[in-house]
Amino acid sequence: MKQFIYFTVLLLMTACAAKTDRNINSVLWVQTAAEYQANCYQAYNTALLSIETAIADNRWTGALEQTNDFSDLPPAVIFDLDETVLDNSAYQAKLALEGSGFQLSSWDQWIGMQQAGSIAGAVVFINYIQNQGIEVIFISNRECRKRDNASSLCPQEADTIENLNTIGITGITEKNVLLKHEYMDWGSEKKSRREYIVEKYRVLMIFGDDLGDFIPGVKKEITPEKRKETAAIYNHNWGTKWFIISNPMYGSWRQILKTPRHRYLQGLPENNHP
């Protein structure tokens, strides 16, 4: 009888752990690891080394979509928002602790709270380039959605601007924030919004946490191997024009993996097991 009770308790403990363990290591790394913080500082500090060259060279652009005559256009830097400038790990921690998945309703509630923190290095860098007269553009897949009892068709935009003000990024207006579905052709693929920006600005650099923040066509119906090959094609842009912040919590790198995901794990060859 005692043995039965022991195994019952063990099973319950295992079930509880499984419920709260979804994505927990990824969130823990973001929230506690100095290595993650150093990675963020490294990206933004490296960008500082190239920014003066980028400003001075009117042939310099960081956008693949910039094929127009851009030499006389004013300079801008494009940023993704979430996990690039704004830290939403508190929301991800909530999901991990509850054992729940992403839901648009709970995500929208989080946006409305305006409590996202800042990614290390982002505020200092953005303040610096603003002082240099460089326009700051945020291309985000935060989605425009009308809320009950709200007059605005896109209250998420005002929430985002206020959140940016809270962390120390000021001077941002609606023209600086391009959200998903703000216009009909602005879907999760950011290419159309980059095309919109390159008509107005010479894009010096792009910052993001997802390959799709830089390159089109890499967020669905593609293999991990093909994504790696695509990233390698543009190896000269990484660390000079493109700066990526590590995000192990979510992203298209996970979305393109088919289930069961453990099939992608690569262990030792059978004859080399210890």
Question: What residues does each domain of the chain span?
Answer: 23-267
Q: What pLDDT shows up at residue 149?
A: 81
Separation between Cα atoms, residue 25 and residue 30, nearest integer Å: 9
Q: Are 178 and 201 in contact (CB under 8 A)?
A: no
CA dihedral (103, 107, 110, 112) positive or negative? negative
pTM of the model: 0.90
Q: What pLDDT shows up at residue 21?
A: 53
- Both tokens assigned to 10: 């063990």
Separation between Cα atoms, residue 227 and residue 215, nearest integer Å: 10
Q: Is domain 23-267 in CATH 3.40.50.1000, yes or no?
A: yes
At 239, give phi and psi (nearest 5°). Answer: 85, -5
Count of all residues that appear for the chain in the document: 274
Q: Distance between terminal CA atoms of the chain?
A: 39
Give the full edge-to-edge strand order of the sheet including 135-143. 177-180, 135-143, 75-79, 202-208, 242-244
Q: What pLDDT shows up at residue 12?
A: 39
- Both tokens assigned to 7: 């195994």
Q: What is the pairing mode between strands 135-143 and 75-79?
A: parallel
pLDDT tens, N- to C-terminus, the chain (274 residues): 445 444 443 333 444 444 445 689 999 999 999 999 999 999 999 999 999 999 999 999 999 999 989 999 999 999 999 999 999 999 999 999 999 999 999 999 999 999 999 999 999 999 999 999 999 999 999 999 999 887 899 999 999 999 999 999 999 999 999 999 999 899 999 999 999 999 999 999 999 999 999 999 999 999 999 999 999 999 999 999 999 999 999 999 988 999 888 889 998 877 665 5
Q: What is the pairing mode between strands 135-143 and 86-87?
A: unpaired
CA dihedral (41, 43, 48, 49) positive or negative? positive
Name the nearest CA neighbour of 28 among 84, 97, 93, 118: 93
Share of the chain above pLDDT 90, in %: 83
- Both tokens assigned to 244: 């990526």
